[in-house]
Amino acid sequence: MNRLAKLQLIGPVSVFLAVFAAEIAAAALARWPSSEMLWQANVEWFHAFQKSNYALSAYESMSYSQLWLIAFPLVTMAYCGIALKRPLLLAIASNLSFVYASFVLYAGYMYEQSWREASLSLMTFSSSLMTISSNPDFLICFVLLVASLLSFAVSHLYYIRAVRGGIR
């Protein structure tokens, strides 16, 4: 496996791990609803995944839908692209992981009332921005978005190099 293929795997694998962790936290919370630590983890760390699950439940209401319909197919497609030596499968998986990470960020933060309110005060905006950026949920989504953006960019770089060097 070459270096560019390894970098393209970062996006789909990070999406799979984040969704898997969010689904495990939700399942554990359903099993032990009185656990304070699980409530804190579910609300503070995986709130955006919960919001994106609500947005997706309008179309599909099966259990663990983000895991089975999005994350697992993405990581499977990425590994099949490597195993079958089909770089297009890997590129599609890395691009779709960026699309999904953007959707999670949008669903988690654009539905919030604090983002919709306009403020004329610069101090209010800077203090709310500092509050949002220190939230563990925002940091998880930001890392997920950066990892999938790296994968997205590398897949495009791979194809630009392939076109310049002649498609093999």
Q: What is the span of the domain harbouring residue 12?
A: 3-165
What is the per-residue pLDDT for 58?
67
3-state secondary structure of 103: helix
3-state secondary structure of 124: helix
Per-residue pLDDT reduced to its tens digit, 9-56: 999 999 999 999 888 888 888 888 888 888 887 777 888 888 888 777
What is the per-residue pLDDT for 111?
59
Q: What is the pTM of this model?
A: 0.78
Instruction: Output b/e per residue, 68-102; b: 16+ Cβ within 10 A.
Output: eebbbebbebbbebbeeeebebbbbbbbbbbebbb
pLDDT classification of 1: cutoffs 50, 70, 90 = low
What is the tally of structural domains in the chain?
A: 1
Which one, of 113, 100, 90, lies nearest residue 141 by Cα? 100
Percent of the chain topping pLDDT 90 = 32
Evaluate whether 135 touches 141 at the Cβ level (below 8 Å).
Answer: no
8-state DSSP, 112: S
Q: How far is CA 23 from CA 20, 56, 67, 74, in A?
A: 5, 14, 7, 16
Higher pLDDT, 125 or 55: 55
Enumerate residues 6+ apart whose C-beta is below 8 A from 91. 8, 81, 155, 158, 159
